[in-house]
Amino acid sequence: MCYMETYKKWLNSPALSAAEKAELEAIADNEKEIESRFFGPLEFGTAGLRGTMCVGLHHMNRHIVGHATQAFAEVVKAEGPEAMERGVAIACDSRNHSQEFAEQAASVMAANGIKVKIYDELRPTPELSFAVRHYNCIAGINVTASHNPKEYNGYKVYWSDGAQLPPVHADTVAAKMKELDVFADVKTMDLEEAKAKGLVTVLSTETDEAFLAKALEQVIDHEAVAKVADEFSIVYTPFHGTGHKLVPEALKRMGMKNVICVPEQMVIDGNFPTVKSPNPENPEGFALAVELAKANNCDLIIGTDPDADRVGIMVRNAQGEYEVFTGNQTGVILFDYLVGARKRNNMMPENAYALTTIVSTPMVPAVAVANGLNYAKTFTGFKFLAEKKDKLEKSGEGNVIFSFEESYGYMLGDFVRDKDAVTAVVSIVEMAAYYASQGKTLFNALRDCYNKYGFYQEKTLNLVMPGLDGMNKMAEIMKGLHANPKTEVAGTAVVTVKDYQTGLATDVATGAATEMELKGSNVVEYNLADGTIFIIRPSGTEPKIKVYILCNDADEAACAEKVAKYAAYAPSIKD
């Protein structure tokens, strides 16, 4: 069916509301817009669905959510009656339409005879992962687009281990979506009727309490926290999202007495009115927090994204100004702190491991090696980190104390299988309190790490390519990089090309290829003659190619020079 036929099918469907029909009628004379909405479906992958919100096959709306849920329900039903009884946990974030989409998913699951546990209101993503494990559910659904701009929403799916859906199940859901009609084959049930029949139950504060208890168990050095709890001050912002209750509560229960929340950003609003993008990676989003911190002479600024799975911090630098830490920098000092705290308190397990990803700073492996710990790298995404953690621990090969991804994601403990900003905030504040008790800031702690392990600096660039044309161009660029890998980058020779699609690492000088452990991802990595790692991959959630520059050097200025050189070169990849 061509896009125009699909458009007409949607336009004439009785499933559309009057408002939805009017929205489609308004684009009747705009063939380009019709094509962009109906040229094909949103791709369902291991991260589920994510897209901008409007009526159409290639966008997030209640019909697409219902369609995906029906396909997911078929996968659950195939597991048998016991799986249907274990049921599915459902949560949502603060985005526009998130509650509506979550209720739509619950309605479809219930109509298929699958029990549902749905939160009474918005909750952090890690608490959804926790609920799947805590209640022994067969699966989970979270309606969120994480840190994306306000136009986006998403549909993240989890399996019984609390991690995002494994590829085998994601592929089955995608295949079922192709088989099922987006309107005719989707079963629904009135939510109140489903509750009355015992198919839907509502989760509330009892789950919050269980989750918070686990998060607070991650505190290692209670004495260090107590020493500075009366004086140490923090500004916190949830960026209008789901961290607004649990993060301040966790800090209060830790014993921190001076936590000031940014009032304008404690307001739940899917339009994120005080920021261009609700992303702790963007320094400009912290403007209100900095203003508040300066007025109150605070020690630390913390921000969590709308679904509270990512956390960013600002610390006082040598000049006393507030400086943003990258996800890599926070990850390094947190890992280094955890290693030290565990050793001081005799809490280091045997065969301790740190997990990180191929695009994250190589400084984490350096810290692991220097401290006699093991490390492993995975593809980008906490589903891979969670999978590796389970594999290591079930086999008895290792015990994971820290999992980290450069995009501001950290996983600690055994009670979630996704990045968890709530628990990460607890550990970050413990770390900050410990250093404060030593007369140091986190800025000092980072400098100490550089002096111990060498200088590392990273930069991520986003080459945005919107629309259908952009998607085609992205595919073309990546295809070319796999077929004809570069032999030099910005004038520096490539020593090794790692093609993670084929799983082969090729020595450029000899042409010899060796198999890598990781295989099957659309990523190309260049190891350069000066020690720099230059990585290119398409984003899995937005229309852009991401370029990662990972540098290290004995000298800080030389390190920064390398980053600047490769950052200037990166945009030429689009040409």
Q: How many residues does this entry show for the chain?
A: 575
Structure tokens that stand for 283 in this block: 């320094």
Following DSSP, what letter does each residue of 499-564 receive, concatenated? Answer: ETTTTEEEETTT--EEE-S--SSS-EEEEETTS-EEEEEE-SSSSEEEEEEEEEESSHHHHHHHHH
The amino acid that residue 361 corresponds to is: T
* Six-digit token string for 300: 């630390």
**What are the angstrom distances between the C-alpha of 50 and each of 7, 143, 519?**
20, 9, 24
Phi, then psi, of 136 in degrees rounded to 5: 55, 40
| Residues ≥6 apart with Cβ < 8 Å to 163 | 129, 382, 383, 386, 387, 390, 417, 418
Q: Give 23's contacts (C-beta < 8 A, 6+ positions apart).
A: 54, 55
Complete DSSP assignment for 276-301: SS--TT-GGGGHHHHHHHHHHT-SEE
β-bridge partners, 356: 377
| Catalytic position from the list 94, 98, 129, 146 | 146
Instruction: Output the six-digit token pair for 444.
Output: 């000092």
Q: Which residues pair with 98 in a beta bridge?
A: none
Let me know: does 235 contact 292? Beta carbons within 8 Å: yes
| Cβ-contact 117, 89 below 8 angstroms | yes
Is residue 146 among the annotated active site residues? yes
What is the rounded CA–CA span in Å between residue 549 and residue 111? 49
Q: Which of 62, 139, 150, 48 is nearest to 99 (CA)?
A: 62
Structure tokens at 568: 């200037």
Cβ-contact 97, 392 below 8 angstroms: no
Beta strand extents in 393-511 (DSSP E only)? 399-405, 409-411, 455-464, 488-489, 492-499, 504-507
For residue 255, the one-letter residue type is G
Amino acid at the residue 182: V
Amino acid at 4: M
CA distance 493 to 129: 44
Q: Look up residue 60 and give its DSSP letter.
A: B
Using alpha carbons only, give the angle 311, 316, 319 rounded to the nearest 5 degrees. Answer: 150
Active site (catalytic) residues = 146
